[in-house]
Structure formats: structure tokens, C-alpha cells
Structure 1
Amino acid sequence: MNVLLALLLAASATSAPAPRTFRVDYFHTGNATEERFSLDRLVVEPLPWPGSPSRAIDETNLGKYLFEVRDRDTNRLLYSRGFASIYGEWETTPEAREVNRTFHESLRFPTPEKPVQVILKKRAKDNSFREVWSLTVDPKDMFVDPSEPASPGALVKLLDNGPPADKVDFLILGDGYTEKERARFEKDARRLVDILFTFSPFKERKQDFNVWGLMPASRQSGISRPSTGIYRDSPVGATYDAFGSERYVLTFENRRFRDIASFAPYEFVEILVNGNTYGGGGIFGLYSTVAADNLWSPYVFVHEFGHHFAGLADEYYTSESAYAPAEDRVEPWEKNVTALLDPSRLKWKDLVAANTPLPTPWKKEEYENHAREVQKERRRIRAERRPESEMDALFTAQRDWEEQFLSKQQYSGKVGAFEGAMYEARGYYRPQLDCVMFTRDRVPFCSVCQRAISEVIDLYAGKGAKGTKKAP
């Protein structure tokens, strides 16, 4: 019996079978100052909804966007989730000030029994959510598409801890692996999953996760890397050079991605790409990516999953970024960075010792001088298309220097407010001197990041979680 059939039978065997997964596919169009939305299609996916009815409402206050599903007759809130998007990142790039672009996106929720209102909201500068789009969805509409896409291959259980509704369901989705490389994909997936669960709080909450593997076979090995003239029509469409950043790996083929992923129960997805060039990416509530064969894939995997899983912000600020500098200091919605130094309003004030000064001093200028030299050498290696081994050696030397330098600071290991975060040297602060979200050093997630991750685990698998309204 294949895994897909087993999941369907398990759902139907209960007294109250789980509804199927419903998906709204839409187009998100605009630029840096305006955006529009238009419906593409309504889809019923092959598998039952993987979530729990008791955890239908999202109260984490994460994400640049939030969508709600409300009963059309009573306006009762049935389901909600915060998320981020590729468009939400692109609109902050210089390109968005010059041209319009369209991105394909999706909203997934339990198939309702009767018409619902789907409301999309966007976060304003004051961090409130404001409605930007709304549509009525009738699950019995003749244009709702229940057809099953072509199968991407066998679903593999990498970690099985119980029914999907009771667990965080995490899908490892391979891209750029040929059929002959299927065993390599599974080996890569198991290796990186094992590494993830050595980091707290994932380590302590491992029993709350199911992990699945899915690998649609690619005709050619590898993925696209336009900066070097390499193009591949890989099944999921992952590519280096997203937004012109050589290390940024994304797929812009959302419809293909969603159809393939629909063959697994999932709430979170890692796109594991077959390549050895340093790279990856992560977008909250969408997916994260990593190049599997690079020396730094364990770090990139965990770091980018932090973005995707818990909406953690980048705490580094010395690497080049595709995003334009912020015009003003808006308080970030991410829980591990802040622009506010008022002790009474600090997001993590309960973790700061009374004798820790705010802002918290550290030898910032010395760190930045070293980082500039590293970035200069990094640009040279890429410009001259030097072997990846040279980049690995550079990063190793950088890690060794940073570990020693940061560990000797007066407030190393303490929670405070250290200036430098979110790609900017001034005005944004991170909770601890070092963290998975700050460097490639061999360090854990900081205390604030760990708390944010735990909150998301609780949303999907926690005991007595808030949001007990019944799903549609």
C-alpha cells in the first residue's frame, strides 16, 4: 500500500474524517507603491487537511501578511494564518521602484462545507493588519478543480511520530535530482533532518514532528544558475541568483511547486536542491531552500529553516543584500530584532538581566572591519569564478575568527540589545551577540529565537494550544 492511499484510508477510518485540503491560487502584481490581486484557480488537493481543528486560529502575530477564512453567513472566523511572500520581499528591492512584476501565490486551508469569505490582510507600518483583498469561495462551485496532478513519485517517511493532525508536518522536497540520484536525495534529506534535531528547541520537541520526503525526478542533474550561464528545467523550478543575489535560491514556479507538494501532508517545506555551490533561502510560511552538497549546507539548512518556520529575521548586516535600505525605522514584526530600546517595550525584556546595559556594548567597529575584508575577497572569488573550495576556505577562516572574537566579548552569552541587524549597521538591534541567525559560527539559536520557534511548534502540535475554534 502506498503512503498516499494509507493516509486517505486513515483519515476516512475516523468518526469525523478530515476535510480535504483546499487551495486558492492567485496572482500578486504590483511594484514598490501599489499591489493588486487576481484569482487564478480554486483547487482541492489530493490529501486530507494535515492540521488539527483545535489549532485553526493563528495568534502568533507573525508575518507580513495574514489571511482569514470566515463563514459567509455568520462572519465567524474559521481559520487564519500569518505568512510572508516572495512579492513581499521583492517590493523592497530597487527593481520594484522601476517596474511591475507578477508572482504566483497560494492560500491553503481545510475545505469548507459551505461558502466562505477569504480575506487577505497586509501589515501596515504601525504593525496592524489591513485588508487588501477579499473573495467569496464556494466549495461546490463547478470551477473548483478536484483533479489529481501527475504523481511526482513515492512519498517517503523520514520521521513518523503519529497522525499528521497531531504533529508538525515537514516536507523535504528534492529538486534537480535525476531518477538515478534518488538514493542520494534520500541520504541528503536524512542527513540534514538529523542535523536540524540537534538544535534546541527542535531537539527537545522532535516527537512533535513528522518529516516526509518527496523527489520528482529531474531530466538533468542540478538547478539553474543564470550568473554562470547554467539553466535547468528542474521539476520544482529552483534557481540561484534570485533578485540578482548569487547565493539566493528560490523557485518562482509556485503552481508547479504546490501541485508537487500536494502529494504530501505538509505545513512546512524545505526544497533540497542538488548542487554544491553555497546557497539557500527562506520565506516565512512558504518554503526554505538549501544546496545539499555544499560544505555549509548544515548551517544554511538550519538558518533558512529559521526564517521559514518561525519568521526569524536575519541578524547579520555586513553581507551584501538585494534589498533597498529602509527609509525609516519601522519596528519589525519578527520577534528576534527590534528598533525600540525602551526597556519597558523591548520584545524580550523579560530575558534581560537588570545589570545589562541597553544598547549593549560590543567591539562593533573591529568586527565590521574584518567583515569588509571578507566581503571583498568573497566578491573576487565569485567574479573570477574560482572553485567552490576557495569560498569554503574563506568561510571557514571567517568562522574561526568570529567564534574567537565574539566569545571574548564582555556580554557574550547574555541577552541584551546589540546594534546591527536586518542588513543595517545602525538602528536595528538583535538579542544576543551570536546566534544561528547572525553568523555561520558553531552556536545555537539565541534564547529569543528559541522561544519564537517553540511558539510555532505549539501552534501545530502543542498541548492545550490557543485557537480552539472548529475548522470549517
Structure 2
Amino acid sequence: MISFAFRVVTCALALAASLAHAAQPATVRLDYAHSGNALSDGYALERVVIEPLPWPGSTARNLDETNRGQNRVEVVDAKTGDLLYSRGFSTVFGEWRTTDEANRISRSFQESVRFPKPDRPVRVRILKRDERNQFSVAWSVEVDTDAPEVVKKQPDLPAKPIPVIVNGASPDKVDLLILGDGYTGAEMKKFEADARRLAQHLFTVSPFKERAKDFNVWALALPTNESGISRPSTGVHRASPLGTRYDIFGSERYVLTLDNRALRDIAQHAPYEFIEILVNNETYGGGGIFGQFSTAAAGNAWANYLFVHEFGHHFAGLADEYYTSPVAYAAASTRMEPWEPNVTALRDPANIKWKRHVKAGTPLPTPWPKAEYEEASRAYQKKRAALRAANRPESEMNALFRDDLKATEALFAGKPHRHDVGAFEGANYEASGYYRPAMQCLMFDRSEAFCPVCRDGISDIIDLYAGSARQ
């Protein structure tokens, strides 16, 4: 058995090796409130924080040209307007404002943006997509990171990050932090085992498999008094450090935390650019917000799928390609071309965004057994709803999922264009008007592989953080 002292030394050495990089700036975090409803929104500064650890990224890759996300943060020189840093991201508020509740009331959400500490006063701008799907400035605030009111010292965390995979210094790698929620003190070894198991699985899936050496993975959890997280729809309520829970926006399988302050105050004690939260529950569930975090139920039989699928949302901004499952979002009245790389409104088939993957002669839209799939899916969704309503054992839900996947694969087997990239109608929660690249993909159902278009979308983000240096 490895001694506690040995593990502390190993962790310290790994952290030092990962963070050792010439002249790394400090990490600045700007915490703010984002409030509003379906029709309008506003922003208010809460605080500016200097985090305990240096900036984990390469300053040679400060500018984001991927055009992902519903929002974008830009840090510019306050005097010259020169762009110093940018990243695309999405928010929980952005999802909430598409729900029916946002038509009735206003709510406030905590949000944060992080950037390398500048050597001069800056203006931080939050941009959002307008009616043309282009970014325009929604809010800006001047920030002097050396001002007296900036928080420069915070309490230590009563836990240390565990180095799961360390392939090099953080600025040269993608740093993934796996956080645990709902694990008691007696379950800390279980958390570490869950984190290692799911991280290992991630790197069996392409393109993560081929780019595994471009990642560092850390794990960190604070213990809870009770095992598991809240699931209000069944009367289960748990106090947990991250405040993660099921039933977000009325969806029984949607797992998020709405406590951004707690999340960031814990995560700041490990090097990270991306976060996946493992909840210590057996019930199927997860969620993912681009550039924020993703979640997965570590104890579920489909945990491998949940971990990778939800990370696809968070890491690369991949859209859901399914459309027959109930969701909390209200359908949009228009079919604007999505910013997500793996769905399209197909306004211009000759110039489809994944044109390079489409073989000559492939029809666009691309035929597939849509009617048969939808008929089978309606029956499956009815069974699924009945199992949840009756609070049946999770083993019965897992069996239903297996049967559904088997039936889908049998339906698709041998069909024309089964393995082609094209434009298959039905995606982004809509049966018509949106198209996905492949008949089947990890973002469409519980299959095991990403389609070529999703693989490209993931590779673009890996390159942004760990590719060849860009000025």
C-alpha cells in the first residue's frame, strides 16, 4: 500500500512539474452576476480574484479562433484596445433562458471568466451572439488586477489534487480536472478509483485516444456527510460542497451545479482548463456546458458513455444530435445556422460546414430510416417515462437502454449511407430543420464512437490548448 506521505510528495512533485514554466503569469478570475429572463439580461461585477495557482495555459495560444460558444470573453488593453486574450463559452443562464420558466420570471446566475494576469489595466468584455449569429458586446468592465479591492489571498483547501495523468508542464497540455461530489470521507478511495477508471476510458475514444499525451488529468474532492447528491424529484436532498443535483430545469436526468462560486473556489486549487464533475450516484444522469463544466453519474452502468458524451458538450461545444428525448428547452421558431460544429440547418447544401467529409454523390439531405426510428423511439420513451414514474430499480432502466441501442443498431444495419457522412435530418432536439453528420454517433445515442465531424470538432479544441503555438 502506498503511504500517505509518499502520495503527498508525489502529488507535490507532479504539481511542480506540471506548473514549472518560464514566467507564467498569475491566474485572474472575474466573478459576476448574470440576470434576466427570456427577453433581456444584464451583468454586474461581483469580485476580481487572483487564484492560488499560476495560469495553466500557454500565453502563445491566448486567442481563440474556433468561433464556438454562445458567448465570448475578450480581454483588451484599456488604453490601446489591443486584444490580449479571448475564449468562447456558453452558460447555464443561456440554457435557462430557453425554458418556459424564463418567460414568466427573472433569475440571477453566478458566472466567471478566467484569464492570464495582464501587466496593465484591461477592459474585460462579454460578448453574445446576436440575431445574425455574430458576436456583439453585451457587457464590459474595466479591471486593474493590482487594485486594492482585488482578492489576492484565500483560505487553503482541506484537500489536495491527485495527479491521475501527468504528461508534462501545464502550459503545454490540456489540463482536465475531475471533481467529486457526494463522496463521504470513507469513499475517497472510491472517488479516486472512479476518476482513474473514467479518465482511462476517455482515452480509449478517438480522437482523445490519439491525443492522450496532450492531456494532464487531476482529481479533487471534498468529503460529504452523506453519500450521493440531491435528487429532489424523489425527495432526496443532500448537502454537498459543489451543490450538484438532478432535476435541473425540470429534467430528471439533467445534473448540474448552479453554485458557480463554490465550484470555482474549489477548482482553483488544481491546474485546470476543463472540469468534469463525478457525482456519487447510480441513477442515470449528467450534463455539459461548453467552457464551463460537465457532469456524470459515476455509479451508473452507462458511466463511460455519460462521461464522454457530456465532456463532448463541455470540451468542444458539440450539440446533442438526438431529438426524440424530452428536454427542458422550448423550441425556437427559426432555424438559424447553429454555431456547434456537428449540426446544420442545411441552408446551403453545396457548402455544408463538413463538406470535406462528404463523398461525391452523397445526397443532401441524406436518406435514413427516420420514420421507423421515430416509431420505435416513441415506444421506448413511453417505457422510459413509466419506469421513472414508478421509481423502478436502475437495473431496469439500464436494461431498457441496452435494448434500445441494440434495436437502433439492427435498424440501421445494412442501410444505404450507414457509414457515410451526409446530412441526416433530426438533430439538436428537433425532428425537422436540423441535420446531423452521420446516421449514428456518440452524440446521437449511446453508441461508442464519435463521427468524423465530431472528431474534428474535438481536435480543434485540443489544438487550441496543446497544438503548435499560435501568436
- 1:453 pairs with 458, 464, 471, which one? 458
Unmatched tracts of structure 2, length 5 or more: 1-7
Q: Aligned with 2:349: secondary structure?
A: coil
1:414-448 C-alpha deviation (Å, 9 max, x unpaired): 0000000011100000000000000112x310000
Q: Check the 8 A contact 1:68/1:78 in 2, yes or no.
A: yes
CA–CA distance in structure 2, aligned partners of residues 162 and 459 of structure 1 = 17
Residue 219 in structure 1 maps to residue 225 in structure 2: yes
- 2:313 pairs with 307, 311, 315, which one? 307
Q: Aligned with 1:272: secondary structure?
A: strand
CA, structure 1 residues 10+298, in 2 after alignment: closer, same or farther (shift >3 Å)? closer
CA, structure 1 residues 373+90, in 2 after alignment: closer, same or farther (shift >3 Å)? same
Residue 230 in structure 1 maps to residue 236 in structure 2: yes
What is the aligned partner in structure 2 of residue 396 from structure 1? 402
Q: Which amino acid aligns with 2:442?
A: V
What is the aligned partner in structure 2 of residue 337 from structure 1? 343
Q: Aligned with 2:463: secondary structure?
A: helix
CA–CA distance in structure 1, aligned partners of residues 20 and 423 of structure 2 = 52
- 1:425 pairs with 425, 428, 431, which one? 431
CA–CA distance in structure 1, aligned partners of residues 9 and 155 of structure 2 = 16
CA, structure 1 residues 152+57, in 2 after alignment: closer, same or farther (shift >3 Å)? farther
Q: Aligned with 2:351: secondary structure?
A: coil
Q: Check the 8 A contact 1:284/1:307 in 2, yes or no.
A: yes
What is the aligned partner in structure 2 of residue 463 from structure 1? 468
How many residue pairs match? The answer is: 464
CA–CA distance in structure 1, aligned partners of residues 18 and 205 of structure 2 = 32
**Bigger mean CA offset, 336-345 vs 314-323:** 336-345
- 2:251 pairs with 228, 245, 250, which one? 245
CA, structure 1 residues 174+152, in 2 after alignment: closer, same or farther (shift >3 Å)? farther
- 1:281 pairs with 283, 287, 295, which one? 287
Q: Which amino acid aligns with 1:189?
A: A
CA, structure 1 residues 376+198, in 2 after alignment: closer, same or farther (shift >3 Å)? same
CA–CA distance in structure 2, aligned partners of residues 185 and 444 of structure 1 = 26
Q: Check the 8 A contact 1:62/1:333 in 2, yes or no.
A: yes
CA–CA distance in structure 2, aligned partners of residues 416 and 6 of structure 1 = 48
CA–CA distance in structure 2, aligned partners of residues 209 and 331 of structure 1 = 32
In the TM superposition, what is the alpha-carbon distance from 1:20 to its structure 2 partner? 1.3
**Bigger mean CA offset, 140-149 vs 359-368:** 140-149
TM-score (normalizing by structure 2): 0.96
In the TM superposition, what is the alpha-carbon distance from 1:248 to its structure 2 partner? 0.2
Aligned-residue sequence identity (percent) comes to 56
Q: Aligned with 1:427: secondary structure?
A: strand
Residue 258 in structure 1 maps to residue 264 in structure 2: yes
CA, structure 1 residues 141+417, in 2 after alignment: closer, same or farther (shift >3 Å)? same
Q: Which amino acid aligns with 1:427?
A: G
CA, structure 1 residues 333+39, in 2 after alignment: closer, same or farther (shift >3 Å)? same
Greater RCO structure (CA 8 Å; 6+ sep): 1
In the TM superposition, what is the alpha-carbon distance from 1:407 to its structure 2 partner? 2.8
Q: Aligned with 1:24: secondary structure?
A: strand
1:366-424 C-alpha deviation (Å, 9 max, x unpaired): 00000000110111111111111111111111011111212322111100000000111
CA RMSD of aligned residues (A): 1.4
CA–CA distance in structure 1, aligned partners of residues 301 and 54 of structure 2 = 38
Q: Aligned with 2:27: secondary structure?
A: strand
- 1:165 pairs with 166, 171, 184, which one? 171
**Bigger mean CA offset, 142-151 vs 408-417:** 142-151
What is the aligned partner in structure 1 of residue 449 from structure 2? 444
Q: Aligned with 1:277: secondary structure?
A: coil
CA–CA distance in structure 2, aligned partners of residues 407 and 315 of structure 1 = 19
Structure 2 counterparts to residues 35-46 of structure 1, below 5 A? 35-46=41-52
CA–CA distance in structure 2, aligned partners of residues 227 and 12 of structure 1 = 43
CA–CA distance in structure 2, aligned partners of residues 5 and 42 of structure 1 = 27
- 2:389 pairs with 383, 389, 393, which one? 383
Q: Which amino acid aligns with 2:357?
A: L
